């Protein structure tokens, strides 16, 4: 499909949203919009795609409260703005749109989270991605390092790079639009995605990628869509197993869940973003006791988050139930880098090889 066709479809879908409201108001009905409920109570496992998607529960936002009316007003402004952007063939980042809303008076966003969330709503309603509206996220700085050669279509022509030989210690930065990326060749046996920069650098320094033919991916906390998309493509296209290495706390398990099962916030994109085969390597609560890792006490927030995960359908497996209950019993959490207590080589020489062979990857 040509770019013009794509733009026309996007424009028509945006028009439909406004037109529905127009009809509603013409018929003396208070304008409303229905959306799938975007909470953990409304995500379902889809057997076909092996990812978690939104279920049938719908939330209707009707403009009969000032909060909902304001929400609809903001949505109307965003629709208007995106239509204009399509018409003028411009593009902007999510952050830019947030700043543009400064001049929208009542419809001004109070935080970028709010505008991001609203754009996600529009993706769900239109069944299009934000890129279709010429909206893109900011670079998020996630990187790749390992025996992988890629080709990237840049605005200034194609660039080919080897992610060990052609990049510095920072690795290859994942671009916004992963669809401009092509995997040329590789020597890898698996992909290891890490939550923290510290661990990423440790594996690089210890030569883990070379020793085990591993592609290292730095998630930078909760991974951006582009990072998750890269992981999915490495898994699907190159048939590489993906393992996720995070801190041993409830927030980090959610990082794994969003990689493997899809995030609750963007469950409408799970099909293109989730890597159903991804496995969790650690830090497992059982590691804390088995390796006697330095640890912190769980805070009240941690405990609440763990309990909430017990009712999260994505964590409804024997493995996670055992691990989460164990952690609640221990009352402790440990960071990835806590392995350093056993020496800087421990994680690459002992822990990871042991876990990887246990998981049948090496």
Partner 1 sequence: MDLAEELATKQRSISVAEFFEKNKHLLGFDSPTRGIITTIKEAVDNSLDACEEAEVLPDIYVGIKRTDKDVYRITVEDNGPGIVPKQVPFVFGKLLYGSRFHQIKQSRGQQGIGISAAVLYAQLTTGIPTTVISRTGHTSKANRFLLMIKTEENEPQILKQEEIDWDRMHGTRVEIEFKSSLAAKKRLLDYLRYTAVVNPHARIRADIDGEQYNFERASEETIFAPKAIAPHPHGIEFGTLKRMAEASPLKLKEFLIEGFSRVGDKNADEILGISGLKPDRKAAGLSSEDMKKLLDAMQTVPVPPPPSSQCLSPITEEKIIKGIDKEFELDFVRSRTRKSQVFSGHPFIVEAAIGYGGKLETEGSAQILRFANRVPLLYQQGACLITNAVSSVNWKAYNLSQQGIPIGPVLILVHVASTNVPFTSESKDAIAAIPEIEKEIVLVLQELGRELKNYLSRRDKNKQQEERARAVCSILPDIAAKVGEIVGKPAPDTTPLEAQIMRKVVVKKRVLNGKVEISVNNYTRNPATLTIYNMSEDPAADAKPKPDFVDKIGDEYNKLWKVEIDPESFWKTEYSGSSHGSISVRGVDEKFLVVVDLF
Where do contacts with partner 1 occur on this chain (CB under 8 A)? 14-15, 18-19, 21-22, 25-26, 28-31, 63-66, 69-70, 72-73, 76-77, 79-80, 83, 106-107
Least spacing, CB of residue 119 vs partner 1, in Å: 17
Q: Which is nearer to partner 1, 78 or 338 (CB)?
A: 78
Are 169 and 200 contacting, i.e. CB atoms less than 8 angstroms apart? no
Name beta bridge partners: 53. 44
Q: Which is nearer to partner 1, 9 or 18 (CB)?
A: 18
Least spacing, CB of residue 79 vs partner 1, in Å: 6
Q: Which is nearer to partner 1, 76 or 161 (CB)?
A: 76
Least spacing, CB of residue 37 vs partner 1, in Å: 23
Q: Which is nearer to partner 1, 70 or 124 (CB)?
A: 70
- Sequence length of the chain is 362
The whole-angstrom distance between residue 125's C-alpha and the CA centroid of its chain comes to 20
* Distance linking the first and last C-alpha atoms of the chain: 42
Strand order in the sheet with 214-218: 172-173, 143-145, 214-218, 190-194, 242-245, 279-282
Q: H or E segment at 152?
A: strand 148-154
Least spacing, CB of residue 111 vs partner 1, in Å: 19
Considering the candidates 22, 45, 54, 99, report the single residue annotated as catalytic: 99
Two tokens at 157?
A: 């022509």
Q: Which is nearer to partner 1, 35 or 69 (CB)?
A: 69
- Is 253 labeled as catalytic in the residue annotation? no
Instruction: Give the C-alpha separation, 214 to 305, whole Å.
Output: 32
Q: Is 250 helix (H, G, I), strand (E, B) or coil?
A: helix
Least spacing, CB of residue 9 vs partner 1, in Å: 17
Instruction: Give the C-alpha separation, 69 to 52, whole Å.
Output: 31
Least spacing, CB of residue 24 vs partner 1, in Å: 9
Two tokens at 156?
A: 């200034």
DSSP string, 58-96: EEEEETTSHHHHHHHHHHHHHHHHHHHHHHTT--EEHHH
The whole-angstrom distance between residue 5's C-alpha and the CA centroid of its chain comes to 28
Are 90 and 104 contacting, i.e. CB atoms less than 8 angstroms apart? no
Q: Is 35 helix (H, G, I), strand (E, B) or coil?
A: strand
Least spacing, CB of residue 163 vs partner 1, in Å: 45
Q: Is 244 helix (H, G, I), strand (E, B) or coil?
A: strand
Q: Which is nearer to partner 1, 64 or 89 (CB)?
A: 64
Q: Which is nearer to partner 1, 69 or 328 (CB)?
A: 69
Q: H or E segment at 280?
A: strand 279-282
Burial code of 118-130, b = ≥16 C-beta within 10 A, e = fewer?
Answer: bbbbbbbbbebbb
Residues with a known catalytic role: 99
């Amino acid at each position: 499909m040509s770019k013009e066709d794509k733009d026309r479809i996007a424009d028509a879908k945006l028009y439909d949203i406004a037109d529905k409201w127009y009809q509603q108001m013409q018929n003396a009905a208070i304008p409303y919009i229905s959306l799938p409920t975007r909470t953990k109570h409304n995500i379902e496992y889809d057997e076909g795609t092996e990812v978690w998607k939104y279920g049938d529960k719908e939330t209707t936002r009707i403009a009969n409260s000032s909060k909902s009316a304001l929400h609809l007003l903001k949505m109307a402004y965003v629709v208007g703005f995106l239509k204009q952007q399509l018409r003028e063939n411009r593009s902007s980042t999510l952050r830019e749109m947030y700043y543009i809303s400064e001049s929208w008076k009542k419809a001004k966003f109070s935080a970028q989270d709010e505008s991001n969330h609203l754009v996600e709503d529009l993706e769900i309603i239109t069944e299009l991605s934000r890129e279709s509206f010429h909206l893109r996220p900011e670079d998020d700085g996630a990187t790749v390092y390992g025996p992988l050669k890629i080709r990237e279509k840049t605005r200034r022509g194609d660039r080919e790079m080897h992610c060990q030989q052609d990049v510095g210690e920072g690795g290859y930065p994942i671009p916004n639009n992963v669809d401009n990326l092509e995997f040329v060749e590789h020597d890898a046996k698996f992909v290891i995605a890490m939550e923290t920069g510290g661990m990423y650098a440790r594996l690089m320094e210890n030569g883990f990628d070379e020793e085990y033919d591993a592609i290292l991916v730095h998630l930078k906390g909760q991974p951006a869509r582009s990072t998750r998309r890269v992981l999915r493509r490495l898994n699907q296209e190159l048939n590489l197993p993906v393992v996720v290495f995070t801190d041993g706390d409830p927030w980090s398990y959610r990082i794994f869940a969003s990689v493997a099962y899809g995030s609750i916030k963007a469950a409408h994109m799970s099909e293109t973003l989730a890597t159903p085969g991804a496995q969790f390597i650690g830090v497992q609560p059982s590691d804390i006791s088995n390796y006697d890792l330095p640890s912190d006490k769980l805070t009240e927030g941690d405990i609440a988050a763990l309990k909430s995960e017990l009712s999260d359908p994505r964590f409804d497996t024997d493995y996670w139930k055992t691990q989460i209950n164990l952690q609640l019993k221990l009352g402790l959490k440990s960071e990835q880098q806590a392995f350093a207590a056993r020496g800087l080589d421990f994680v690459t020489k002992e822990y990871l090889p042991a876990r990887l062979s246990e998981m049948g990857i090496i």
